[in-house]
Structure 1
Amino acid sequence: MESSGDIESLSAITLATHDMARAVRFYRALGFRIVHGGENEAFTSFALGSSFLNLTGETHAPIGFWGRVIIYVSDVDAFYRRAKAHGIEPQFEPRDAPWNERYFHLTDPDGHELSFARPL
C-alpha cells in the first residue's frame, strides 16, 4: 500500500532575531539547551524534547509580525518562578484555561510570544 505521507510531528520552529547574543542569553536563562550555534553564530538551535527551537540572524528575515510558540513544560509554576528569577517579566501569572491547560505567556527580546503550558 502506498504511503499517504501523513504528518508525524513538529521538527522545529525558527524565529528571527536582531541580536543573536541577546537572544541566546535569554533562552539559556530559561534553561533551553543549545545543540548548535551560539551567541556569535548566525544560526542557533535549542533542543525541546524531540523538537527544536531555532534562532536565525539572517538580515532578510522580516521581524515585526505576531505569532506564539506554545511549549509544554513539566511544571508551569516552577518555570514561571525560573523566568522571574532571571529578571524576565511574564505577561501574567500562571492560570488554568478553559481548554484544560495551565499556562502563562512571556515575550522574548525580539517580540516573539512564548506560551509555557501543561495539560491539566
Structure 2
Amino acid sequence: MTNESMEPPSPDHEAHAESLSALTLATQDMPRAVRFYETLGFRIVHGGADEAFTSFALGSSFLNLTRETHGPIRFWGRAIIYVSDVDAFYRKALAHGITPQFAPRDAPWNERYFHLTDPDGHELSFARPL
C-alpha cells in the first residue's frame, strides 16, 4: 500500500481521551454532603455548603457535588474525562453520529467542556483546563 492510496488522516485524528478528571455526584442536601466529605478529610477547592456546586481536590483529580432540587434524584452524576482537544473531540463525536447535549463552552471553573449521554443514560463530560 502506498501513501497515495491511503486516506488522509482526519483533522480530529489526534483528539483522544487523556485521563479521568473528576466524578460529579448529585445531592439534595449540599450542607450534609459537604460535611460528610470534609469529615473524611477532603479539601474544598470550589463552592461550599451554601453553593449549588462544590469541588473537592483528590490529588490531581476532583470529586464534585451538584445540588439537585427537583423531586427525587434521577441524575446519578457525571464522569469528567480530560481530552487532548475539546473542540476536536466534539467534532469527532458528531462525525460518528453522536449528538452532544451542547457545543463546547468555557466554564467559570476554568475548563472548556461539553456533555454527552452514553446509550445507557450515563452523562459524560469531556473537558480541558483553560
Compute the TM-score of the two structures, normalised by the length of structure 1: 0.48
Query: Which of 1 and 2 has greater Rg?
Result: 2
Compute the TM-score of the two structures, normalised by the length of structure 2: 0.45
